[in-house]
Structure 1
Amino acid sequence: MRISAFMIAAALTLPVSAAESFLVPMHTPTPVFPAELIKTRYAGKVRAQLWIKSDGQVREVRAIESGHPQLTEAVEQTLRQWRYKPWIGTVGAPPLATITVPVIFGSHGYRRFNTEVTVGLGKIRCGYLNHEVKSARQDSPKEPLSKINVFSYTGQALFGSHVAQCQKNPTRRYVDYLPENVRNAL
Structure 2
Amino acid sequence: MRLLLLGAALLCSFNAVAAFPPSSDTAYMPKPEYPAELANVVGDARISLNIHNDGAVTDVKVLSATHEAFGVAAKAAAEQWRFQPWKVTANTPAVVDAQNTMIFSPALTPDPFPDAQSVMHNMLFQPCSALNEELALFRKSYPKQPLSSAPTFAKTSAALLLPVFASEPESQEGMKLNRQLIDALPDIVRRCQEQPARMYSSVLPKDLQKVFGIPG
User: TM-score, normalised to structure 1's length?
Assistant: 0.58
Structure 2: 5+ residue runs without aligned partners?
Answer: 7-15, 136-146, 165-172, 179-205, 211-216
* Aligned pairs (5 A) from 1:25-174: 25-38=26-39, 41-90=40-89, 92-106=91-105, 113-114=107-108, 116-118=111-113, 124-127=116-119, 129-130=121-122, 133-137=125-129, 140=132, 149-155=151-157
**Paired residue secondary structure (1:74):** helix
Q: How far, CA to CA, are the matches of 1:54 and 1:175 in structure 2?
A: 24
Conserved 8 A contact 2:131-2:152: no
**Paired residue secondary structure (1:134):** coil
1:44 Cα shift? Answer: 1.0
1:48 Cα shift? Answer: 1.1
1:100 Cα shift? Answer: 1.4
Specify whether residues 137 and 24 from structure 1 end up closer, same or farther in structure 2 by C-alpha distance, changes over 3 A only: same
Q: How far, CA to CA, are the matches of 2:99 and 2:67 in structure 1?
A: 18
**Paired residue secondary structure (1:103):** strand
Q: Percent identity?
A: 24
Structure 1: 5+ residue runs without aligned partners?
Answer: 1-6, 108-112, 163-173
1:68 Cα shift? Answer: 1.2
1:54 Cα shift? Answer: 1.0
Specify whether residues 57 and 127 from structure 1 end up closer, same or farther in structure 2 by C-alpha distance, changes over 3 A only: closer
1:153 Cα shift? Answer: 3.1
CA deviation digits over 1:50-75, x for unaligned, max 9? 21111100012111110111111111
Specify whether residues 91 and 85 from structure 1 end up closer, same or farther in structure 2 by C-alpha distance, changes over 3 A only: farther
User: TM-score, normalised to structure 2's length?
Assistant: 0.51
Please tell me the residue identity of whatever aligns with 1:118.
F
Number of equivalenced pairs:
149
1:114 Cα shift? Answer: 4.4
Conserved 8 A contact 2:53-2:94: yes
Please tell me the residue identity of whatever aligns with 1:44.
G
CA deviation digits over 1:69-116, x for unaligned, max 9? 111111101110000011134552111012211111117xxxxx4455
Name the residue aligned to 2:207: 182
Specify whether residues 21 and 29 from structure 1 end up closer, same or farther in structure 2 by C-alpha distance, changes over 3 A only: closer
Q: How far, CA to CA, are the matches of 1:99 and 1:32 in structure 2?
A: 21
Q: How far, CA to CA, are the matches of 2:48 and 2:74 in structure 1?
A: 10
Please tell me the residue identity of whatever aligns with 1:50.
L
Q: How far, CA to CA, are the matches of 1:133 and 1:82 in structure 2?
A: 32
Q: Return the index of the structure with the highest Cα Rg.
A: 1
Please tell me the residue identity of whatever aligns with 2:113.
T
Conserved 8 A contact 1:22-1:93: no
Conserved 8 A contact 2:49-2:58: yes
Conserved 8 A contact 1:51-1:60: yes
Specify whether residues 177 and 138 from structure 1 end up closer, same or farther in structure 2 by C-alpha distance, changes over 3 A only: closer
